[in-house]
């Protein structure tokens, strides 16, 4: 997968045909899920561990439509796929290769994950060598690198961000890990907003900026459990990543929660500055672009320039704000609603803070 000699390219071609044949075998479930411009056909062995992950997508079955791309989901030992692995200098080294023809990603952690997408023929696979060792963040956002590989021909860029919508007015929430994206998004959900994402979504930049829902999962830090008690009612597990306890939440279990896509009218970056009440102030778009691009590329490497350009084009002309949620998180949705509701009347003035 690093700049590939012909034998490596041949092995990957053989691997694609190999997993496709597996996908035609008995006991394989075939699904077609719709994500805006992408109709993704999935083939996965019925009853497998990875088949269970598909329910965490904000399921939108594209019944009666032909897939625009195919993805085979494979797990367990496989000598053919084993022969495709790159020879890396270190056992813990991730390897990525992105060209107009293909996208490949190898991560040796947690038993090993190999993702390969043939961009010309719009097909690929995700292989988890040891699915029983998957970390919680992988089960909360499965097959994410495959969407990265599919991006060039779908026009949908995977983006590290949260998003919610108040009526028809969507707000994109940018920020690095721990900035408060999840807390702000879920506080809005508890106030009746539509949920799009708390961590990763698909960004469509034309003809308008649109946040496309991928998953119905959310992950809440332990210090926010008491502030988001209604959402925590949908928690199904606790996990620990890098020493931090998080509640794993399936928002599909919340009867009052609506999940969907949203047209984005503003972008906010959570920024606590000690304000006495929630409010916002203008922020330079260039700062927001750096936040979005840096975190996205750190987690989904490859296609750096194309990813940066897609984000830049998408947010061009969209007003950006620093948003201080104030001392009480429960007050933040009302302030954010005032911002969202004013989007159709021109650029909102800075709120008092």
pLDDT of residue 90: 59
pLDDT of residue 265: 93
Q: How far apart are CA 51 and CA 190, in angstroms?
A: 30
Q: Looking at the structure, do residues 326 and 178 belong to the same domain, yes or no?
A: yes
Q: Looking at the structure, do residues 142 and 179 belong to the same domain, yes or no?
A: no
Q: Looking at the structure, do residues 163 and 192 belong to the same domain, yes or no?
A: yes
Q: Looking at the structure, do residues 193 and 332 belong to the same domain, yes or no?
A: yes
Q: Looking at the structure, do residues 178 and 297 belong to the same domain, yes or no?
A: yes
State how many domains the chain has: 2
pLDDT of residue 275: 74
Q: Is residue 69 part of a domain?
A: yes
Q: Looking at the structure, do residues 102 and 191 belong to the same domain, yes or no?
A: no
DSSP state of 27: T
Q: Which two tokens stand for residue 213?
A: 């829902």
In b/e form, how buried is each residue of 124-156, taking b as 16+ CB within 10 angstroms?
bbbbbbebeebeebbbbbbbbbbbbbbbbebeb
pLDDT of residue 118: 95
Q: Looking at the structure, do residues 97 and 177 belong to the same domain, yes or no?
A: no
pLDDT of residue 70: 95
Tens of pLDDT along the chain (353 residues) come to 444 444 666 777 789 988 988 777 778 889 999 999 999 999 999 999 999 999 899 767 887 889 999 999 999 999 999 988 887 655 678 999 999 999 999 999 999 999 999 999 999 999 999 999 998 889 999 999 999 999 999 999 999 999 999 988 999 999 887 778 999 999 999 999 999 999 999 999 988 899 999 999 999 989 889 989 999 999 988 888 777 889 999 999 998 899 999 999 999 999 877 777 888 899 999 999 999 999 999 999 999 999 999 999 999 999 999 999 888 888 899 999 998 888 754 444 443 33
Q: Looking at the structure, do residues 73 and 163 belong to the same domain, yes or no?
A: no
Q: Is residue 315 part of a domain?
A: yes
Q: Looking at the structure, do residues 238 and 150 belong to the same domain, yes or no?
A: no
Q: Which of 154, 171, 191 is the last residue of a domain?
A: 154
Q: How far apart are CA 46 and CA 137, in angstroms?
A: 23
Our CA angle for 217, 70, 249, nearest 5°, is 5
Q: Is residue 351 part of a domain?
A: no
Q: Which residues contact 13 (CB under 8 A, 6 or more apart)?
A: 118
pLDDT of residue 213: 96
User: What domain range includes position 300?
Assistant: 158-345
pLDDT tens string 33-57: 999 999 999 999 999 999 999 989 9
pLDDT of residue 8: 66
pLDDT of residue 89: 52
pLDDT of residue 163: 97
H or E stretch including 259?
none
pTM of the model: 0.91
pLDDT tens string 215-229: 999 999 898 899 899
């Amino acid at each position: 997968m690093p700049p590939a000699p012909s034998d490596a390219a041949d092995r990957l071609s053989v691997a694609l045909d190999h997993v496709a044949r597996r996908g035609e075998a008995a006991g394989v479930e075939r699904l077609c899920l719709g994500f805006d411009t992408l109709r993704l056909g999935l083939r996965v062995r019925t009853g497998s561990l990875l088949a269970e992950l598909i329910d965490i997508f904000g399921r939108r079955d594209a019944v009666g439509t032909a897939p625009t791309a195919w993805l085979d989901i494979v797990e367990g030992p496989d000598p053919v796929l084993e022969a495709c692995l790159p020879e890396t200098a270190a056992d813990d080294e991730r390897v990525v290769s992105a060209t107009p023809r293909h996208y490949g990603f190898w991560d040796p952690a947690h038993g090993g994950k190999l993702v390969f997408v043939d961009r010309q023929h719009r097909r690929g696979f995700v292989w988890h060598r040891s699915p029983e060792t998957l970390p919680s963040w992988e089960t909360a956002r499965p097959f994410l690198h495959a969407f990265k590989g599919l991006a060039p021909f779908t026009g949908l860029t995977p983006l590290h961000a949260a998003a919610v919508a108040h009526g028809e007015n969507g707000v994109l929430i940018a920020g690095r890990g721990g900035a408060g994206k999840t807390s702000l998004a879920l506080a809005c959900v508890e106030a009746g907003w539509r949920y799009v994402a708390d961590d990763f979504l698909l960004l469509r930049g034309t003809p308008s900026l649109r946040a496309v829902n991928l998953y119905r999962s959310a992950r809440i830090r332990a210090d926010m459990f008491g502030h988001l008690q209604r959402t925590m009612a949908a928690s199904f597990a606790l996990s620990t990543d890098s020493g931090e306890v998080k509640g794993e939440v399936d928002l599909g279990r919340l009867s009052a929660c609506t999940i969907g896509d949203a047209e984005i009218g503003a972008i906010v970056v959570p920024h606590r500055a000690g304000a006495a009440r929630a409010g916002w102030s203008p922020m330079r778009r260039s700062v927001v672009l750096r936040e979005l691009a840096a975190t996205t590329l750190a987690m989904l490497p490859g296609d750096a320039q194309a990813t940066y350009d897609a984000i830049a084009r998408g947010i061009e002309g969209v007003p950006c704000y620093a948003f201080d949620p104030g001392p009480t998180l429960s007050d933040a949705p009302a302030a954010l609603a005032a911002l969202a509701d004013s989007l159709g009347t021109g650029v909102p003035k800075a709120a008092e803070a």
